[in-house]
Amino acid sequence: MPAERPERLCVGCREKHPKAELLRIVRSPAGEISVDATGKSPGRGAYLCPRAECLRAARRHNGLAWSFKGRVAPAVYDALAEALRARAED
């Protein structure tokens, strides 16, 4: 029997996708929010499809605040938009 690929829920579109296809956003124990390129940073994680539509939906429905169980500054969404643009250019 083949091993299952882990899936995670996107905070934007609210659909399950393979974990490897999603961006992990992490809130560190100190409260800082950043993109986790390694997928192993300590802290509470949230996952987001690498699409602008999902980021807009997450912002509109406060997806990160829901996942992190607390307020998220609008600047965090702006920084994520920049990270998505940089990733698309690579």
| Radius of gyration, CA atoms only, the chain | 13
Give residue limits of the domains in the chain: 7-89
List all residues 6 or more positions away from 52 whose beta carbon is below 8 Å from its beta carbon: 81, 84
Whether this model's pTM surpasses 0.95? no
Quote the pLDDT of residue 17: 97
Structure tokens that stand for 35 in this block: 């993109």
pLDDT higher than 70, residue 1: no
Quote the pLDDT of residue 88: 79
pLDDT in tens, 38-82: 989 999 999 999 999 999 999 999 999 999 999 999 999 999 999
Looking at domain 7-89, its CATH architecture is: 2-Layer Sandwich (3.30)
